[in-house]
Chain A
Amino acid sequence: MVSAVFHGPFEAPTPSASAPAAAPATSKSIAANDPTTPGSMQKDLKIGANSAALAPAFDWRGATRDISAAVLPPVMGLALLVGLWAIVSIVTKGSIPSPADTWKQALDVFADPFYRKGPNDQGVGWNVLMSLERVAVGFGLAALVGIPAGFAIGRFDFLSRMFNPLISLLRPVSPLAWLPIGLLVFKGANPAAIWTIFICSIWPMIINTAVGVQRVPQDYMNVARVLNLSEWKILTKILFPSVLPYMLTGVRLAVGTAWLVIVAAEMLTGGVGIGFWVWDEWNNLNVKNIIIAIFVIGIVGLILEYALVKIATAFTFEEVKS
């Protein structure tokens, strides 16, 4: 479950390599077929000239192939989803709305995402923003507590043995089980939802940070010992940079879980939020809006994940990856 290797959701493995390899091969074969190439020296020049002259044409072909190879599979995947959805819609005789109807409704919903008509009727934009705000606050508090705690647990064996049983006991508990405790203690829906996010996002951060600290290569620690570095220097020059990729993995997992949990938490607490919106539309029996909400939740989650993967790769050093 702990990994410092980052796979972006938009990573396409193969096509980029094949296209540039194919281009020079084609240019060479054309040059060889060219009847006006006399000597070998000139032939070389000719290849250069030919490929330069024909370069735009090859780029076009390569680019189209590149794009189709990159775009076609995901498009087919989406088409499969929409197709299945259409079939289900027909089979259920329209109690699940068809993709086309939902699309029309979506255009309507997104025409004005930021309207306010009273506390229980606000645009989808406000709902998403409110959910993101709760996730940000809950997650931020969890990071403030979890990352230092992870460092301490990873660095000191005593603390590790002290807290490991607690973490093992509490981590499998569904964060929603903490919601009543939050409601009781904080006497409000919003802080209770934030509390739930806090609980669910703290574990990955503690565990990943602690594992990262424990996996700091012994060589680096030996360097620290030979140089007799102060604990502060060890923390800033050795521990923090080498733990950073693990920590960011923890952050990524935490944000992912938080985004999963906020929907459920908001269904229970009410107010404004994407989860509440789903539940409200269910009470209105507006299934189209529920499907729209599912897509919105998915897309926001995807964007969060992508942004965090980008950050994580930027902070991973060559030798930490291996």
Chain B
Amino acid sequence: MSDSLTTKFIEISGVEQTFKTRKGLFPALRDIHLTVAKGEFVALIGHSGCGKSTLLNLIAGLTTPTAGVLLCANREIAGPGPERAVVFQNHSLLPWLTCYENVYLAVERVFGAGSKTVGAPSENKAQLKARTDAALALVGLSAAAQKRPGEISGGMKQRVGIARALSMEPKVLLMDEPFGALDALTRAKLQDELLKIVARTNSTVVMVTHDVDEAVLLSDRIVMMTNGPAATIGEVLSVPIERPRNRVALAEDPVYVHCRKQVLDFLYTRQAHVEPQAA
């Protein structure tokens, strides 16, 4: 997919992020240049504390950079918005709403009366309900629609989070270690589901992960970040594996093994994690 890079959808140029802490300024990110094409799946990988979530928050618009510019569809990212949906690491469902209501909240905001989407006529209740049901069906949770988050498993919660994000028909899906809190089997299952959903919806995805296999299996390109402070992009690896991908078949695929080796090499040989002193 590297040939489609000419269509820049997300454009990050010269972005720098410095946090004010009690001990003075902390440079988290510097000199970030990255473009993401429409329909591309990009993984951000690096050791913890390297600022991958910081970068994702910048794309989401939850924080603003100290320097540099972020563009999405040729417009500057000025703040968070439903066109850049976020799947949070800890699912962030509202525990007092049912799964259905959690998704409906997003659907209503984007497509219902009073939505800020210019040009799109607001939809009626039946259409909003249909969208919500469709989003829950997409992640296979129609049966659990009327349950509250406290009554379903961690994997199901994360799927509701994905359904909520997808229901907004975002231009970009941003995922912050979406499967990090799940056990290995559930994680694999959700990764497979995500692959299918992304193939069906042709979404543009930026995903933060610390799992090498997850990065290689899911993404078109892997953005490897150096260790912080003042982290930056160390290397970008293209994953030239045809889709649909099958995790079992790929386990012995030479291209897969090669990509995996390169990421491991970057993470553990060149960027071997050094515990920061007095942090």
Q: A226-B81, A227-B105 are in contact. Are A320 and B86 (CB under 8 A)?
A: no
**Contact assessment for B150 and A219 in the assembled complex, using a CB-CB cutoff below 8 Å:** no
CB within 8 A of A228: which of B81, B148, B149, B150? B81
- Chain B residues positioned under 8 Å from A217 (CB to CB): 92
Q: How far is the CA of A225 from the CA of B149 in the complex (A)?
A: 20
Q: Hey, which bits of chain A sit against chain B, CB under 8 A?
A: 217, 219-220, 222-223, 225-230, 233, 237-238, 241-242, 317-320
B100 to chain A, nearest CB (A): 14
Contact across chains for B94 and A220 when beta carbons are under 8 A apart: yes
Nearest A residue to B168, CB-CB: A227
Please pick, from A220, A226, A230, the residue contacting B62 in the complex, using a CB distance under 8 A. Answer: A226
Evaluate contact between B97 and A237: CB separation under 8 angstroms: yes
Assess whether B114 is in contact with A230, with CB atoms less than 8 Å apart: yes
At the interface, yes or no: B90 with Cβ under 8 Å from chain A?
A: yes
**In the complex, A241→B95 CA distance in Å?**
9
Q: Which 7 A-B pairs have the closest CB atoms?
A: A318-B150, A319-B95, A241-B96, A219-B92, A225-B80, A317-B95, A226-B80
The answer for the CA separation of A220 and B90 in the assembled complex, in Å, is 11
How far apart sit A233 and B94, CA to CA, in the bound complex (Å)?
A: 13
Residues of B within 8 A of A233 (CB): 105, 109
A319 touches B84 (CB 8 A): no
| Contact present for B149 and A220 (CB under 8 Å) | no
Q: Does B79 contact A (CB under 8 A)?
A: yes
Binding site for A on B (CB under 8 A): 60, 62, 79-82, 84-86, 88, 90, 92, 94-97, 105-106, 109-110, 114, 116, 148-150, 168
Chain B contacts for A318, CB-based, 8 A = 95, 150
Q: What's the least CB distance linking A282 to chain B, in Å?
A: 50
B92 and A227 contacting across the interface, CB-CB below 8 Å: no
CA distance A227 to B62 in the complex (A): 11
**Are B95 and A222 within 8 A (Cβ)?**
no
A residues near B114, Cβ cutoff 8 Å = 230
Task: Report which of B79, B148, B150 forms a contact with A225, defined as CB distance below 8 A.
Answer: B79
Interface centre among A227, A230, A241, A319 (most CB of B within 10 A): A227
User: Once bound together, how far apart are the Cα atoms of A242 and B92, in whole Å?
Assistant: 13
Q: Measured between C-beta atoms, what is the minimum distance from A247 to chain B in Å?
A: 14
Q: What is the CA–CA distance of A167 and B94 in the complex, to the nearest angstrom?
A: 32
- Secondary structure at the A interface, as helix, strand, loop or mixed, is helix
- Complex contact B116–A241 (CB within 8 A): no
- Distance in angstroms between the alpha carbons of A23 and B266 in the assembled complex: 60
Residues of chain A within 8 A (CB-CB) of B94 are: 220, 223, 237-238, 241
Q: How far is the CA of A133 from the CA of B71 in the complex (A)?
A: 62
Whole-angstrom distance between the Cβ of A149 and the nearest chain B Cβ: 23
Give chain B nearest CB distance to A316 CB in angstroms.
10
Contact among B92, B110, B150 with A222 in the assembled complex (CB-CB below 8 Å) = B92
The distance from the CB of B135 to the nearest CB of chain A, in whole angstroms, is 14
Contact partners of B148 in chain A: CB under 8 A: 317
Please indicate the chain B residues that have their CB under 8 angstroms from the CB of A225 in the complex.
62, 79-80
Give the complex CA separation of A28 and B135 in angstroms.
51
Pairwise interchain contact A228-B97, C-beta atoms closer than 8 A: no
Contacts of A237 in B (CB 8 A): 94, 97, 105
CB contacts (< 8 Å) of A238 on chain B: these are 94
Shortest C-beta distance, A150 to chain B (Å), equals 19
- Contacting residues, chain A, for B90 (C-beta < 8 A): 219
A222 touches B116 (CB 8 A): no
Partner of A227, one of B88, B96, B106, B149: B106
Residue in A220, A227, A320 whose CB lies within 8 Å of B82: A227
| Chain B nearest Cβ from A221, distance in angstroms | 10
User: Which residues of A are found within 8 Å of B81, using beta-carbon distances?
Assistant: 226, 228
* CB<8 Å pairs between A and B, sample of 18: A220-B94, A222-B62, A222-B80, A222-B88, A223-B88, A223-B92, A223-B94, A225-B80, A226-B62, A226-B82, A226-B85, A227-B110, A230-B114, A233-B109, A237-B94, A241-B96, A317-B96, A318-B95
Q: Closest CB-CB distance, A225 to chain B, in whole Å?
A: 4
Report the Cα distance A307→B124, complex, angstroms.
Answer: 43
**CA separation between A21 and B85, bound complex, in Å?**
49
Question: Nearest Cβ distance between residue A313 and chain B, in whole angstroms?
Answer: 14
State in angstroms the CA–CA spacing of A227 and B110 once bound together.
8
Q: Which residues of B contact A228 (CB under 8 A)?
A: 80-82, 109, 116
| A229 & B109 in contact (Cβ 8 Å cutoff) | yes
A241 to B96, CA, bound (A): 7
Complex: A25 Cα to B201 Cα, angstroms = 57
* Of A219, A222, A227, A242, the contact of B109 (CB 8 Å cutoff): A227
| Bound CA–CA A228/B80 (angstroms) | 7
Neighbouring B residues of A222 by C-beta, 8 Å: 62, 80, 86, 88, 92
A residues near B80, Cβ cutoff 8 Å: 222, 225-226, 228
Q: A222-B62, A227-B109, A227-B110 are in contact. List 7 more A-B contacts (CB 8 A).
A: A225-B62, A226-B60, A227-B168, A228-B81, A233-B105, A318-B95, A319-B150
Expressed in whole angstroms, the Cα–Cα distance for A220 and B95 within the complex equals 10
Contact yes or no, B150 A226, CB < 8 A: no
Contact residues in A for B86 (Cβ distance below 8 Å) = 222, 226
Contact A320 B95 (CB under 8 A): yes
